[in-house]
């Protein structure tokens, strides 16, 4: 029983607070940390690039000299001469996708902008309007 009391009676030691830093010491510490972060970030990015390049090399080495689906599709395209038609189809598909996404974005802005304006007026009643149209576009006379 005395051993249990000894364990319970021990109070944890309070950690010592960090020393007070002057403004210059603090700025130097922030600069050092920022530089370390930049170096680590740079290294991680380049390790990733080298890793992806190595994987590309391995995949090319694996399929070297073999007939692949891509080669077959390319030969079929060249043999039948459909490259111009395929280009028009792809351009139409991507253009339509862009148009639909743009309209979806404008509709989203048109439905959510009034609520955002209401919240901004609650936060700062003196705030002036940006002058944008309801769909979020600049007025026609405005340079962009």
**Residue 45: is its pLDDT beyond 80?**
yes
Q: Token pair of 144, please?
A: 């962009």
DSSP 8-state class, residue 125: T
pLDDT grade for 40, boundaries at 50, 70 and 90? very high
pLDDT grade for 12, boundaries at 50, 70 and 90? low
Q: Token pair of 133, please?
A: 């149209």
Distances (CA, A) of 107 to 11, 94, 112, 137, 140: 63, 20, 9, 12, 19
Q: Average pLDDT in the 24-48 region?
A: 91
| Alpha carbon distance 56, 62 (integer Å) | 10
Q: What is the pLDDT of residues 49-108, one digit of tens each?
A: 999 999 998 888 887 777 667 777 777 766 766 667 777 888 899 999 999 998 888 888
pLDDT score for 47: 96
């Amino acid at each position: 029983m005395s051993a249990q009391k000894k364990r319970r009676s021990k109070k944890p030691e309070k950690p010592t607070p960090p020393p007070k830093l002057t403004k210059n010491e603090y700025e130097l510490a922030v600069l050092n940390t920022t530089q370390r972060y930049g170096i680590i970030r740079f290294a991680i990015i380049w390790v990733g690039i080298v890793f992806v390049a190595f994987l590309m090399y391995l995949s090319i080495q694996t399929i070297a000299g073999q007939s692949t689906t891509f080669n077959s599709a390319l030969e079929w395209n060249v043999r039948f001469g459909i490259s111009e038609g395929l280009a028009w189809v792809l351009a139409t598909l991507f253009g339509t996708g862009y148009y639909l996404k743009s309209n979806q974005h404008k509709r989203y802005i048109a439905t959510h902008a009034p609520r955002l304006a209401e919240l901004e007026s609650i936060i700062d009643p003196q705030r002036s309007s940006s002058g944008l149209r309801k769909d979020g576009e600049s007025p026609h006379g405005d340079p962009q």
